[in-house]
Amino acid sequence: MTSIFHHFIPTNDFLPPEKIVQALYSLYGQLLNVEWFKEEEGYEAVFYHQDKECIACFNEEGELLVSKRNLPLSMVTPEVKREALAVGELMNLIEINRQGNFFYEIIARDKNLDRYSLLLERDGSLLEKRKL
């Protein structure tokens, strides 16, 4: 019997080559709700790992290019929090790992409720700021 939700929730049936799928599972192990997409540089997987939403991007050879984790706000470092507070309220915290180089992408909103995306280095140095 087909669930009624089948009619309301679009599904993504795309699967990359087996070596890409194996690369994901060898890095992360147990995963939930994996959804794959074909991107210009390779393949992107969106999934849940250890109760956190994650994204992993692989090249055609199955090498991990970048991974992102949506972190709870309680995990913000003092350096990153300082930059968020300079804008206003921290709303979203994403850890980015580009082949061992870590960054944070945060979304913060000011007192006028305008939202900003900030890209920060681990030490809190601002690399990019744009209004959303």
State pLDDT tens for residues 65-74.
999 999 999 9
> CA angle at residue 95 from 92 to 98, to 5 degrees?
145
**pTM of structure:** 0.82
Residue 6 is predicted with a pLDDT of: 43
Give tens-digit pLDDT for 82-124: 999 999 999 999 999 999 999 999 999 999 999 999 999 999 9
- 105-to-13, 35, 93, 108, 126 alpha-carbon distances in Å: 29, 22, 6, 10, 10
